Amino acid sequence: MPKRITYLEKRDGLARKDFRTHWSTTHAEIARALSGVTDYRQNHLLESAPGLGAGLYRVDGIVELWFAADDVVHAGFDSAVADRLMVDEQEFLSGLTGGPVTAGAPHAPWPFKLWVLARWRDGTDNDFDAVDRWAGPLSATFDGALGRAVNVLVPGADLLVRAALRREEHIPEVAISFGFADEAAARAAASMLPAHVDGVQGILTGLYTRVAEELVII
């Protein structure tokens, strides 16, 4: 099932609560009509949560979109609905960069997540399995973890960017999420994670971790 992840940067000067409100209501209502989308999750990063890599990426929100089939992905992004989304983006965003990822099927809702964003080290392969072998046992060490999901940017793929918005020049090439039922468990996992990064530092660099609240739109 095709999936795309997009990283959002809120508009300069916009309060975080206003960013959340606009994205989860006005913008979400437009996106509901996007052709071919089977699942749409918004991940609202919590500014006050502890994490690694402050300032590495300009990310305030993470979009997860799953599509019914490959042939409907471009149809969804080349439509009147997509045009409306682009107009509305300027109301609450300063930056937007996304792309297709290798990933699993949609998981059950996870109210809170710990996200780990990173890039491949020079000379390493795009090794989905190696990352998953690290994330699987790690998930088992987190109290209350509901599961994990690994997303790897498709090498050489065309990125989703907007002429009117900033782009993330170093888009994360790996995005791992660990699911939790409550914020406290996600924060506890975030505080534990720095002790476990040695297991993946041989292939990943630029690790950035943040807790987020997930909203299921579709």
124 pLDDT band, cuts 50/70/90, is: confident
5 pLDDT band, cuts 50/70/90, is: very high
Strands 3-10 and 160-161, bridge-based pairing:
unpaired
* Distance from C-alpha of 174 to C-alpha of 127, rounded to nearest angstrom: 10
- pLDDT number for residue 72: 74
Closest CA to 9 of 93, 88, 65, 90: 93
Averaged pLDDT, 145-154? 97
Written as one letter, the residue type at 156 is G
The rounded mean pLDDT for the chain is 93
Whether 146 shows a pLDDT value over 60: the answer reads: yes
Whether 201 shows a pLDDT value over 70: the answer reads: yes
**Residue 140 near residue 76, CB atoms below 8 Å:** no
- pLDDT number for residue 50: 66
This prediction has a pTM of 0.95
Averaged pLDDT, 98-113? 96
pLDDT tens digit sequence for 18-70: 999 999 999 999 999 988 899 999 999 997 766 788 889 999 999 999 999 87
Q: Which residues pair with 63 in a beta bridge?
A: 6, 42
pLDDT tens digit sequence for 10-31: 999 999 999 999 999 999 999 9
